[in-house]
Amino acid sequence: MKPARHSQTLRSPALAYGGATSDATPGITRNEELYCEAVALRSLATRHGTPLYVYSAAMIRARLKAFARAFRGVPHTLCYSVKANSTLGILRLVAGEGAGFDVVSGGELQRVLRVNRKAAGKVVFSGVGKTAAEMELALRSGIMLFNIESASELNLLAATAARLKKQAAIAIRVNPDVSAKTHPYISTGLHQHKFGVPILEAQTLYERAAKQPTLKVEGVSVHIGSQITDVGSFQESMERVADLVRTLREQGHDIRYIDAGGGLGISYEGAQGSFEKQIGAYARAVTAPLRGLRLHLLLEPGRSIVGPSGVLLTRVLYRKTNNRKRFLIVDAAMNDLLRPSLYGAYHEIVPVVRGSREIEITDVVGPICETGDFFARDRKLSLTSEGDLLAILDVGAYGSVLGSNYNTRGRAAEVLVDGAKVRVIRKRESVEDQMRLEAR
């Protein structure tokens, strides 16, 4: 089957109104119907039900390749941030493109190992609260690098490695006191945040680590936050890290890696700019301060790889009016997509089949018994009827991975579209699935 010929592309190049005739819905013209690659989203909702997460494989591959091109002149390893989207089908796709992984828990590491045990050699273990059991799993698996967040963690890793008669390669995550200019919940690079070690204290910790025979000092790590669109923040933090690397080398430490972290943001509203230009500017900001240092760069993108690849399909259950306030009550809820409730995050919402040109101002809300269960407030949308399908855009990152069973709701199914092929990568969760581990 040939790729779809799209008549109008939306924010994501993988989404467009119009597509392959053989997949069109009877009675609906191609330019009215929303497609992901060569597949009509309406057909996916009919086949798999709603709420339903849909991901574009082509877009994920394209973004991974864009990173490779942008950093081709620099020795580097891209370690996809598993916390952005940890569904095994997504991890398998990422691994197939040759990427490594950044994990923040033993559970995430086990997901990576389930996809490909050999991938452990390109795994960076981050996070502020690693347990001894998690450290043991990582050491036995042979991961590439531990990012150390505190003196206590350093001591525990040294003891765990000694017990297993292994040596752990480490970088210390430094806190550069640089503002990420992002939402305070996802900013991590200032002194008031729980992450990292102040740069001035890091030298003492490196000296202590060098005296431990079970630890091997190999790098410096930094991560200042998430959803960052000002690349100047990345450059400022890397300038401070580069100065630290020079100092550490003068003190005799063999620093081979700089872990630049992740955090590159995406646009959630307005025109979708060129990712090639964005990633190019990011690459220049990160690499400029490192010239002449002969380092291997570790990158930990998550959101920027998978965010725009995903949509959440949801069906309108009811229209409701309270005085002059209008509501669309849909079958997806905050347990499916938490970002609007948690951060007040904006996600564009579009009809799966374009109908009325009349515009209304309405709230799009879920069925959960919380006022905070909403996807949009006072949003201008095409006039929508009960039973219509809506697509919530840019949910590939921090969407399904933040799902819960609140109100005993099952997690949504997830499908991966690859051209005209569709694969279920997570089955819809039933009430029986939820109760299986509980005692009566």
**pLDDT score recorded for residue 140:** 98
Q: What domain range includes position 175?
A: 126-299
Q: List residues bridging with 393 in a β-sheet.
A: 311
> Considering 299, 332, 361, which residue would you say is the last residue of a domain?
299
Angle between the N-to-C axes of helices 275-287 and 231-250, in degrees from 0 to 180, rounded to the nearest 10: 30
> Considering 299, 316, 345, which residue would you say is the last residue of a domain?
299
**pLDDT score recorded for residue 227:** 79
Whether this prediction's pTM lies above 0.85 is answered by yes
Q: Is 107 among the domain residues? A: no
**pLDDT score recorded for residue 28:** 62
Residues 26 and 13: their CA atoms lie apart, in Å, by 25
Q: Is 106 among the domain residues? A: no
Q: Does one domain contain both 341 and 392?
A: yes
Q: Return the CATH number at 137.
A: 3.20.20.10
The amino acid sitting at 368 is I
Q: Is 354 among the domain residues? A: yes
- C-alpha closest to that of 304 among 271, 345, 263, 259: 263
**pLDDT score recorded for residue 25:** 56
The tokens 């002449």 sit on which residue? 292
**pLDDT score recorded for residue 263:** 84
Total domains in the chain come to 2
Residues 293 and 296: their CA atoms lie apart, in Å, by 9
369 part of the active site: yes
The amino acid sitting at 427 is K
Q: Does one domain contain both 356 and 415?
A: yes
Per-residue pLDDT of the chain (440 residues; tens, 9 = 90+): 233 334 455 667 789 998 544 455 555 655 689 999 999 999 999 999 999 999 999 999 999 999 999 999 999 999 999 999 999 999 999 999 999 999 999 999 999 999 999 999 999 999 999 999 999 999 999 999 999 999 999 999 999 999 999 999 999 999 876 644 444 443 443 444 545 788 888 999 999 999 999 999 999 999 877 778 788 888 888 998 999 999 999 999 999 999 999 888 888 887 667 889 999 999 999 999 999 999 999 999 999 999 999 999 999 999 999 999 999 999 999 999 999 999 899 999 999 999 878 999 999 999 999 999 999 999 999 999 999 999 999 999 999 999 999 999 999 999 999 999 999 999 999 999 999 999 98
**pLDDT score recorded for residue 9:** 54
> Considering 281, 299, 317, which residue would you say is the last residue of a domain?
299
- C-alpha closest to that of 381 among 360, 397, 402: 360
Q: Does one domain contain both 274 and 314?
A: no
Residues 221 and 211: their CA atoms lie apart, in Å, by 20
Q: Is 117 among the domain residues? A: no
Which of the following is catalytic: 271, 294, 323, 369?
369
**pLDDT score recorded for residue 343:** 87
Q: Is 89 among the domain residues? A: no
**pLDDT score recorded for residue 182:** 42
Q: Return the CATH number at 340.
A: 2.40.37.10
Q: Does one domain contain both 152 and 201?
A: yes
- C-alpha closest to that of 364 among 372, 354, 374: 374
Q: Does one domain contain both 319 and 415?
A: yes
**pLDDT score recorded for residue 24:** 53
